Structure 1
Amino acid sequence: MKAANVKQKPTKVRIRILMFIFVCVVINYMDRSNISVAASLIGEDLNLSSVQLGLIFSAFGWSYCALQIPGGGLVDRFGPRLVYAFSLITWSLATLFQGFVRGFGTLFGLRLATGAFEAPAFPTNNRVVTSWFPEQERASAIAFYTSGQFAGLAFLTPALSAVQHLVGWRGLFIVTGAVGLVWGIIWYCFYRDPSQHPKVNQAELDHIEKGGGIISRSSTIEKKKSAFNRTHFKQVLSHRKLWGIYIGQFAVNSTLWFFLTWFPTYLVKYRGLNFLQSGFLASLPFLAAFFGVLLSGFLSDFLVKKGIASGVARKTPIIIGLFLSISIIGANYVEQTSLIILFMTIAFFSNGLASITWVLVSSLAPKHLIGLTGGVFNFIGSLASVIVPIVIGLLVNGGSFAPALVFIGFLALTGALSYIFLVGKVERIEMKDEVTDDHHLSM
């Protein structure tokens, strides 16, 4: 009798799922950054001009942006298990085939394919975390998997360089593509939604659901609501709160893409550092961003557990991070290398602090449109990967980088104000058809 009264202890399957997502993000960014490692050798072997290399660099961003919204819709329709496995395997095949190219056209097409097939990845990440984690743990979960992109950028670049040194640039693409292929199969074999996972117990399911996690997508009504249509698309574009996070994500990604594209050139060409110095110093802001995003998630969840309103706890690190990112402008007023790097490190740490923005998608999006909302959110945010490098190139055409840093700072300010005045109170948006369906379910 005594044993029967013992309360069941929740399993921790969601932690294992989170580790799976982290690996997915690292592989995702590995297959984005391998082209930058191999670029100089590719240019020599394929006799590519700087213009052609620039087009190859941009190819990923164009297709990735264009397919964010359809990618988010696919997650809502078919679920994370199938969509992520398909995405991983196809983008990994596109990566692997880059090791066999013989000219510009084929490489350009395969980079387009890589961006296209990676498009569902982050909407899927968000869908998984929304399913597996209660509200009070969600920011930490999002921060952890988001840190994978910074960890990848900070630590994988030397590893990729070593692989290239051993097996050449063609071998680099074959190896990285093969890693993703294997992981895609592993994902399909082992991932399940919470209600279907064989290792999760009822206590963990109750813990997730009571905290606001959406554990089941198996009902006929849910699948019907998940089918993409024009009305759903209008819905995710018609709310001020959602536009607040869309604009904010563009601002967050603007700082990120400055560091991904122009930062090394800024140090070498505009600040006079040599390539060896810039390679070492460029890693410091990425490490700072890695710790910034982890701090953001843990701080946000800590505030929730202390009784602070969820909206305040979620928005505070993001708004503070965006405001502090404006410090990048300070580099315009110093000449010492240590101070330049200090301002850059503060700015990118702050960008990491602001990078738990996906938690607002989980908190605001209509329940049946989380994937589609995430797709729109990531589409608008990813436009920064196309727009910001081009605008910076135009601004620095006169020989000074100062206007470009002011531009980045202005976008960060715009993002902070967007979260303050457009997002407002954080509460889930309910659509009329969603309320009606829920009413019928309760009947």
Structure 2
Amino acid sequence: MNATEKISKPQGKFKMRYVILALVFVNIVINYMDRTNVSIAMPELAKEIGLTTVEQGLIFSAFGWIYAAMQVPGGIMLDKFGSRIMYFISLFGWSLMTLFQSGISSFAQLLGLRLGVGFFESPVMPANNRAISYWFPENERGTAIGIYSSAQFLGLAVSMPILYSIHNTVGWRGLFIITGVVGIIWAFVWYVIYSDPAKNKWVSQAELDYIKAGGAVFEEEKAVKGEKAKSKLTKENLRQLFTKKLIGIYVGQFAISGTFWFFLTWFPSYLTEEKGLSLAKTGFLSSIPYLAAFVGVIFAGYASDHLTKRGFSKSMSRKIPVIVGLLLTLLIMGANYTSNPTLIILFMSIAFFGNGLATITWVFVTLLAPKDLLGLAGGIFNLCGALSSIVIPIVIGFLVAGGNFSYALVFVAAIALVGACSYIFVVGDLDK
């Protein structure tokens, strides 16, 4: 019997932890909307200000340069100031950068603003993981992580046709204005509603007891143990943060994020320029792989928690969805052998479904990292994913310079295979 089973679930319909999960979900939808709007704008934007494919790759990757560099400092700041303040600053800042992109007229201006978006978004994923670690007991955390991870896919699946419609109606400058304003408004909503559970005025004592008994992280316990001060780059902390298993999930995160960043940056251009689809049709077709990925994330989170509750080992229940998902991603290469739009989207959807299966990897951070270093470990973990946002768009920019995406798809598949091998051979058995 685990700690969560020793105390009954709180009665009543209102559960504040689900409100927090909904807030995080919307945060991620807005976050990825502002990451991908530039890929929707790019075909027309590139023509207007005269960008080459290599320059487009640099623009797509610019977000990741400073985003990656700020992961460790962002994790330290997150552990110091908490999710409420850091998320507000982050949301407001990147939304303002998005709004400013509506006024650009050169490569340099757009590059600078994309760097700004990356700077302000840097604490986001560690902040999501921190909020869920504080608000959810361990036996619900896999499902919670699966739900909030699905936001990037469901949000983009729903928003892609809307964003294309906005673009087709008010142009790419209007697209940046509207998405920027939405984020600025939501930043204030987050700040008003969110706080850690021990400080939250809307959570019931019964729910507080339940999540605490289930292994949720509590700030007052950290303060009593003096653990807040440990969130810094000391020699001992580095040793704890770079064990073999943690290195394995860091490599895996780079691989999983690699596929995602292909879809987030070059996929619309792939459909319009490589396959000759119209912008209107692209808006609809590009949403289908995101829906497939959403299904993958939801299924992975549910299956992982279900297997855990049925008594399967952590190694089996947590790793199987990730490994299977990474192997399914290899089917992205099937699109190289057909010009049929239906088959292309089918191969892309299977590959992205696999990417969704593999995206619950934040659960490994909570399982393997020291509790007092969750923010810092999350920052390093997300740094490895962020590195793919630098490498993948630039490499693809060079690979497609001749107008052919075939080698780009092979490259994405090869990275996914490396990730699968990392989880199989480097991460190994989680129960040892």
TM-score normalised according to structure 1 size: 0.86
SS at match of 2:219: coil
The CA distance in 2 between the partners of 1:391 and 1:101, in whole Å, is: 25
Query: Which residue is 1:23 aligned to?
Result: 26
The CA distance in 2 between the partners of 1:163 and 1:273, in whole Å, is: 18
Query: Which residue is 2:82 aligned to?
Result: 79
Q: Deviations over 1:359-382 (max 9, x none)?
A: 111111111111111111111112
Unaligned residue ranges in structure 2 (runs of 5+)? 1-7
* Residues 254 and 388 in structure 1, CA contact (< 8 A), matched pair in contact too: yes
Task: Tell me how far 1:18 sits from its aligned partner.
Answer: 0.1
Structure 1 position 120 matched with structure 2 position 123:
yes
Moved more, 397-406 or 370-379: 397-406
Query: Which residue is 1:9 aligned to?
Result: 11
Change (3 A) 1:232 1:96: farther
CA RMSD after TM alignment: 2.7
Change (3 A) 1:259 1:42: closer
Task: Tell me how far 1:394 sits from its aligned partner.
Answer: 4.1
Task: Tell me how far 1:416 sits from its aligned partner.
Answer: 1.5
Task: Tell me how far 1:105 sits from its aligned partner.
Answer: 3.3
From 161, 175, 178, give the equivalent of 1:175. Answer: 178
* Residues 325 and 351 in structure 1, CA contact (< 8 A), matched pair in contact too: yes
Change (3 A) 1:55 1:331: closer
Query: Which residue is 1:434 aligned to?
Result: none
Structure 1 position 49 matched with structure 2 position 51:
yes
Task: Tell me how far 1:410 sits from its aligned partner.
Answer: 2.4
Task: Tell me how far 1:385 sits from its aligned partner.
Answer: 1.5
Change (3 A) 1:231 1:214: same
Moved more, 156-165 or 207-216: 156-165
The CA distance in 2 between the partners of 1:177 and 1:277, in whole Å, is: 25
Moved more, 346-355 or 214-223: 214-223
* Residues 62 and 390 in structure 2, CA contact (< 8 A), matched pair in contact too: no
The CA distance in 1 between the partners of 2:333 and 2:147, in whole Å, is: 28
From 404, 409, 424, give the equivalent of 1:405. Answer: 409
Change (3 A) 1:338 1:92: closer
The CA distance in 2 between the partners of 1:185 and 1:272, in whole Å, is: 42
From 283, 286, 289, give the equivalent of 1:282. Answer: 286
Matches within 5 A, 1:115-264: 115-217=118-220, 219=223, 221-222=225-226, 224-231=228-235, 234-264=238-268
* Residues 77 and 226 in structure 1, CA contact (< 8 A), matched pair in contact too: no
Moved more, 336-345 or 374-383: 336-345
Unaligned residue ranges in structure 1 (runs of 5+)? 1-5, 429-443
Change (3 A) 1:172 1:269: closer
* Residues 94 and 114 in structure 1, CA contact (< 8 A), matched pair in contact too: yes
* Residues 164 and 283 in structure 2, CA contact (< 8 A), matched pair in contact too: no
* Residues 140 and 298 in structure 1, CA contact (< 8 A), matched pair in contact too: yes
Change (3 A) 1:39 1:412: closer
The CA distance in 2 between the partners of 1:253 and 1:169, in whole Å, is: 26
Task: Tell me how far 1:249 sits from its aligned partner.
Answer: 0.7
Query: Which residue is 2:94 aligned to?
Result: 91
Query: Which residue is 2:334 aligned to?
Result: 330
Change (3 A) 1:270 1:366: same
SS at match of 1:69: helix
* Residues 261 and 389 in structure 1, CA contact (< 8 A), matched pair in contact too: yes
TM-score normalised according to structure 2 size: 0.88
Q: Deviations over 1:23-63 (max 9, x none)?
A: 10011112112223333554466x34335544433321212
Task: Tell me how far 1:279 sits from its aligned partner.
Answer: 4.2
* Runs of 4 or more above 6 Å deviation: none
- Greater CA radius of gyration, 1 or 2? 1
SS at match of 1:228: coil
The CA distance in 2 between the partners of 1:239 and 1:269, in whole Å, is: 44
Matches within 5 A, 1:288-367: 288-334=292-338, 336-367=340-371
Residue identity opposite 1:341 in structure 2: I
Q: Deviations over 1:112-131 (max 9, x none)?
A: 11110000000100011111
Q: Deviations over 1:41-98 (max 9, x none)?
A: 54466x3433554443332121211111211121112111111111111112222223
Q: Deviations over 1:213-245 (max 9, x none)?
A: 113356154454344233366235431110111
Moved more, 360-369 or 275-284: 275-284
From 54, 61, 77, give the equivalent of 1:58. Answer: 61
Moved more, 206-215 or 317-326: 206-215
Q: Deviations over 1:160-189 (max 9, x none)?
A: 233345555444333322222222122122
The CA distance in 1 between the partners of 2:401 and 2:369, in whole Å, is: 41
Change (3 A) 1:363 1:237: closer
Residue identity opposite 1:423 in structure 2: V
* Residues 161 and 284 in structure 2, CA contact (< 8 A), matched pair in contact too: no
Task: Tell me how far 1:108 sits from its aligned partner.
Answer: 2.4
* Residues 130 and 362 in structure 1, CA contact (< 8 A), matched pair in contact too: yes
The CA distance in 1 between the partners of 2:354 and 2:328, in whole Å, is: 6
Moved more, 407-416 or 361-370: 407-416
Task: Tell me how far 1:99 sits from its aligned partner.
Answer: 3.0
The CA distance in 2 between the partners of 1:359 and 1:392, in whole Å, is: 30
Q: Deviations over 1:107-162 (max 9, x none)?
A: 32222111100000001000111111112111111111111111232221222233
Residue identity opposite 1:12 in structure 2: K
Task: Tell me how far 1:191 sits from its aligned partner.
Answer: 0.8
Residue identity opposite 2:25 in structure 1: F
Query: Which residue is 1:437 aligned to?
Result: none
Residue identity opposite 1:176 in structure 2: T
